[in-house]
Structure 1
Amino acid sequence: MYNTPTTQISVDGRVFYVKRDDLADPFLAGNKFRKLHALLQTPPQKLDKIISYGGTQSNAMLAIAAMCRKKNWHFAYYTKPLSNTQKNENYGNFFHSKKLGMEHVEIEEPYYKDFVASMRLRMDERTFVVDQGGAVEEARLGLEVLAEEIRGSALDVPSLATPSGTGTTALFLALSLPEYKVYTTPCVGNSEYLKKQMSALHPLPQNLIILEPKKKYHFAKPYKEFLQIQQKLFSSGIEFDLIYAPSMWMALLEQTQEEILYIHSGGVSGNESMLARYRQKGFL
């Protein structure tokens, strides 16, 4: 693990700083680079297999596939049934994960939740389960490393920001850096859903501030305003993902005023498939 650089950008006349965790690795980058820290430090001979589950746009899926390729571990990923179109796409996170050696297993929808709930009952000591989105207690170790990098940078900002799926990154970052305000915004569900996900890992600290989007957005769907903010950010010199970053940046520009360090959560590998969806919608 190495200390990723920080870049200063200007957006709508405001100064922001960006912690470039997206530069850690082409596939194993962003917040997944941090969440998988404990596994990345695990000697290859200690494990044989990693299991995870979720959707086929998942950045965690791709990061785990890249890690397992490096470690020579077998990676099995479970999803609900996919369409033939999804299975045969030759771009995007699912395609790249399969190229990295991921075994894809479909579970019929009526049995999916029960299968996930019982997953650990069938594993041995040489198998490790990574919950959807990397929402595991072990993720805290990597976020503590990130916290030390931020402290060591001596950057004079009062606040940090990172978008949330499960909220794991924002939660552990806030716990590790109580001297900062940590902004996040729910990208899956609403604030109550996000609080429930984070509270399952740890009680919420007072310095964690959830910015509620002004409009309800459905996860991973194309929106013109998401494309517009992503293109505006790209003109500043940095590419951000089209699923998580737009909602966070819109909330920051609308609801905050101070200088902020944004933790780049990666995910740009998924832009290829998302841009194809924007073209289908006629937004490009």
Structure 2
Amino acid sequence: MAAASPLLQELPEPVAAAHGVRLLLWRDDLANPDLPGNKARKLKYNLAAARQQGHHTLLTFGGAYSNHIAAVATAGRLFGFKTIGLIRGDEPVIGTPLNPTLTQTVADGMALHYLDRQAYRRRAEPAFIAEQLAQFGPAYVLPEGGTNQLALPGCAELVAEIRQHVTFDVLAVAVGSGGTLAGLLTGLAGESHAVGVAALKNGGFLRDEVDALTQRTTSEKFTNYAVQTDYHCGGYAKYSAELLAFIEQFRTRHGVLLDPIYTGKLLLAVLDMIGNGHFRRGSTVVAIHTGGLQAWAGWEARFGGRTR
């Protein structure tokens, strides 16, 4: 049985009971109200490195609705860094209101600059980054999504935190860039199993990304994981009627709001996998709610209406 924790929640789903699987949800979205979820974990050691290197500014990249952009802006406000966000897309016409995500980043003190898609494709090139630093001044550079070698240790710490409360067989997490899954694998160190659910279409490349991250960080390539690529619901930031209905039903059953980009797809996948006999009878599966709920405000702005 799980030790009491406000972050660990039983999910009494009929399909799990029928297949003899114990399903729990780790509420990392509640771990830090000001900076929730996996983005805080990815930033933890990067912020320490920025401070150690004497930087006062963080510079990063992202889309106009990015959880990462929102998190960096919040971290800058909380920890005393100036922040610069290089945003994919055209600069809004003067007088046009910003979307809710960017409105909040500006309120948190982030300076926004826009890159056309051709320029944005160069975001990882050293020469392009040097050009940005020459323009904006010295800064600690964070990659799109926050995934780098220093992101992994913060995510790895989650494994020990969960193990304090429950013995599990499988950790399940949504996958965008692969950083959180890679961090979990380094924390698992070959013990137990991990499942990543790709939030984007054609996610077969993610295994190579995860392997590269763990090898650079620990010199190890892990085999105790799988990446599921069939639950993207149309692609990154895409959705289906089934997904939105599932999110609404899940909140009704469990009092937990999932986001439509990552965690909704994760739980939809996990329950389908249980129903298909993917997990052995008697196993304990912990799905991780990585936050991302700020996405709902942008979702409403883009598509109208929301599951709340």
Matched, 1:265 2:290: yes
Aligned equivalents of 2:71 and 2:232: distance in 1?
30
Inter-partner Cα distance in structure 2 for 1:60 and 1:86: 25
Q: Please state how far the C-alpha of 1:253 moved relative to its aligned partner.
A: 1.3
Partner of 1:174: 185
Give the direction of change, closer, same or farther, for the CA distance of 1:233–1:39 in structure 2 (3 Å limit).
Answer: same
Q: Which moved more, 1:29-38 or 1:256-265?
A: 256-265
SS in 2 for 1:217: coil
Corresponding residue of 1:279 = 304
Q: What are structure 2's unaligned runs of at least 5 residues?
A: 17-21, 216-220
1:161 aligns with 2:175: no
Letter in 2 for 1:139: A
**CA distances 1:10-61 after superposition (whole Å, capped 9, x unpaired):** 2344342111110133452111111111134458583211111021111111
User: Which residue in the other structure is 1:207 paired with?
Assistant: 224
Residues 170 and 208, structure 1, Cα contact 8 Å, conserved in 2: no
The correspondence for 1:194, drawn from 206, 226, 232, is 206
Deviation at 1:170, TM superposition (A): 0.8
Q: Secondary structure at the match of 1:10?
A: coil
Q: 1:270 to 1:92 in 2, by over 3 A?
A: farther
Please state if 1:82 is matched with 2:90. yes
The correspondence for 2:11, drawn from 9, 19, 22, is 9
Aligned-pair CA distance for 1:110: 2.8
Report what 1:240 is aligned to: 258
Matched residue, 2:271: 253
Once the two structures are superposed, the pairs formed by residues 38-187 of structure 1 within 5 Å of their partners are 38-41=45-48, 46-82=54-90, 84=92, 88-89=96-97, 92-114=100-122, 116-117=124-125, 118-122=127-131, 123=133, 127-153=139-165, 155-177=166-188, 178-187=190-199
More deviation, 86-95/137-146: 86-95
Q: How far 1:217 moved relative to its partner?
A: 1.6
Cα distance 1:85–1:20, how it changes in 2: closer, same or farther (>3 A)?
farther
Q: What amino acid maps onto 1:245 in structure 2?
A: T
**Cα RMSD after superposing both structures:** 2.9
When residues 67 and 283 of structure 1 are mapped into structure 2, their CA distance, relative to the original with a 3 A threshold, is: closer
Q: Deviations over 1:193-234 (max 9, x none)?
A: 212332332354111111221676221123211111211221
